[in-house]
Each structure stands twice: as C-alpha cells, then as structure tokens.
Amino acid sequence: MAREASRTPVTDALEDMRASSARIASSARASSTRCRAWAGATNAPVSATRRAAEAFVERWEALGATPSDGLGDDLASMRPLDDAPSKLCVENAVYESDVFRKMHVELAWGDGGFEVLHVVMYPWAERAAPVYAADAVGFGGRLSLCVVDCAPVTSDLSLPETYEDVGGRMLEETLKLGVARRELPEWGRAILGPLCLCVGPRADETASRDVDAFFDYAYKLHDAHCELAKAPELVLESGSTRALDAQVRFCDRQLENEKTRRALERAFGVDVADRYMREVLFDVTASTPRSRPL
C-alpha cells in the first residue's frame, strides 16, 4: 500500500515512457532484420553517426512509419562536384506517419573523417507537438558538437506539461552522469527549449562516456516524443496555424546556420546547397499541409 501511495502522475508517465521506449527499441532491433534496409547508410564509413542514423531509421520502421516519396533522387543521394574544393557525400532517408509529416535523417561524411548526423521530425501542424531535432558533428573520429531537443512550438518556448515532466526527468538523469554541456550555437537560442542537451565531448578519456550518454538521452527523448505527440489534447482547433507558424520559425532560424550552408556550397555549389537546405532540411512554409491527406 505504501508503494501505491507514493505514485504520482509524473512517476506513472515516466514508467509508461520507459516501457514504451523498451518496446520501441526491441521492435527496432527486430525490424533491422525484417524491414527494408536503408541502402544509403551502407556507403558511409562505420562511425557513431552512421550507427545512430541506422538506429533512428530502425525505430521509425518499428513504429510503422513509411518511406516518403517527396524526396527527389538528385537530393536524396548527393556526391560532390568533380572540381569541388570539398569532398562531401550526403545520404538521406525520409519517412512519414499519421503523427509526423516528415521524419528525416541525413548522414554526411567527407574529407579527413568529417561526419554529420542530422535528424528532424516535423509533426503534422494540426498538432501542437514539438519538433524533434538532433545533430552531431565530428572530425577525425571525434564528435565535437551534439545537440538534441524537442523544440517548442510556442512563442515563449514552453512545452506541454507532459513533455516538461517526462523529458525533464530524463535530462536530469543524464546530467547526473557528469556530461559536459556547452553553449548553444547562435542559431539555436531562439528555437530550442528546456529539454535541449548540447554537449561538446572533451578530447580525453571522458569523450566516449559523454557521446554514449548523449545518444542514450537522444533515443529516450525520441521514444517519449513518439508517444506523447499522439495525445488528443495536442490537436489544435480547426484553422489554427499556431504550430505551423512555429515550425516555419524553426526552419527560418535553422537556415541562418552559415556553417552548414558553407559546407554544402563547397561540395555542391550555391544553387544546389540552397535548394537542399530549403527543400530537404528545413522545408516548412506557410503552404505546408497541416494534416495528412486522407
């Protein structure tokens, strides 16, 4: 009886999320042998970012998400121009579901062991659910910047209470491990919220621990998000563009990331880089559909 009395809505939610995360992870491991493989990842060097990219795709397939047809072949798999000063290869996978309009993972690699993982999940904008976003950048076998968040779709960067409670506990548990946080990049300060974890693993014996802790949190936050975003109370009233406006703001801020733009321009040219950023990475506009077509 004492144990029952100590339970709260928050602990109940946390237990539900942990159970859900375990189910998703288990299904993802099974799906890797029975689902369609993401062929693009097999071209990339084996690395932390490749393993993470494959893990996200496996999770999406385990959840029943389906590959999207909205990505043109010329932007799905990209190779550098012959005379490009930078040799950068990019592979993309895009999925969708009843809850998420776009579930996108980008894996990039290039000269000197350069590697990038980019993940973004845009809910259908009829839902006031956050935008899940994760990025990891490395060079020479070491990740130097890792960022993950459920980016709020509110003007004050607040989250639904369930996200604050469940995600907040997960973040607290991760920080107790001694992960070295770093300051957010300039482009992220206006769009990332209270669940954001930004780390810059140090070049010492703690680097591997920090990377493992980051990805563990990124997966747990992802799995919780996939459950919490389904909540009926997040469905907006007919005609509301609040979530869509926030997703547009998220994309506009991301497009200000000049480091990403310059890296793409050196490999693929200015025009292709701009198309890729606006049509693949950050493609939400005022005309983006609010709900999945019937």
Total Cβ atoms within 10 A of residue 66: 11
Task: Report whether 113 contacts 137 (CB < 8 A).
Answer: no
47 pLDDT above the threshold of 80: yes
Is 25 part of a structural domain of the chain? no
Residue 278: CB partners within 8 Å, gap ≥ 6? Answer: 255
Is 34 part of a structural domain of the chain? no
Question: What are residue 135's DSSP bridge partners?
Answer: 118, 147
- 75-108: per-residue pLDDT in tens? 999 998 888 778 899 999 999 999 999 999 999 9
- CATH code, domain with 251: 3.40.1500.20
Residues 93, 71: Cα–Cα separation, whole Å: 9
Is 37 part of a structural domain of the chain? no
Residues 278, 276: Cα–Cα separation, whole Å: 6
293 pLDDT above the threshold of 90: no
Residues 283, 254: Cα–Cα separation, whole Å: 10
Task: Report whether 180 contacts 202 (CB < 8 A).
Answer: yes
Residue 43: CB partners within 8 Å, gap ≥ 6? Answer: 89, 91
- 213-232: per-residue pLDDT in tens? 999 999 999 999 999 999 99
Amino acid at 29: R
Query: Phi/psi at 70 (nearest 5 deg)?
Result: -85, 5
Domain that holds residue 122: 51-280
Task: Report whether 135 contacts 146 (CB < 8 A).
Answer: yes
Is 166 part of a structural domain of the chain? yes
35 pLDDT above the threshold of 80: no
32 pLDDT above the threshold of 80: no
Torsion of CA 216, 132, 156, 169, to 10 degrees: -30
286 to each of 45, 74, 96, 274, how far by Cα in Å? 38, 25, 19, 18
Is 153 part of a structural domain of the chain? yes
44: confidence class by pLDDT, cuts 50, 70, 90? confident
Portion of the chain with pLDDT greater than 70, in percent: 86
- Total structural domains in the chain? 1
More confident residue, 4 or 261: 261
Is 287 part of a structural domain of the chain? no
| Tokens describing residue 291 | 């709900």
Q: Which of 15-24, 50-59, 139-148 has the highest mean pLDDT?
A: 50-59
Is 42 part of a structural domain of the chain? no
Is 210 part of a structural domain of the chain? yes
Between strands 114-123 and 197-199, the pairing is unpaired
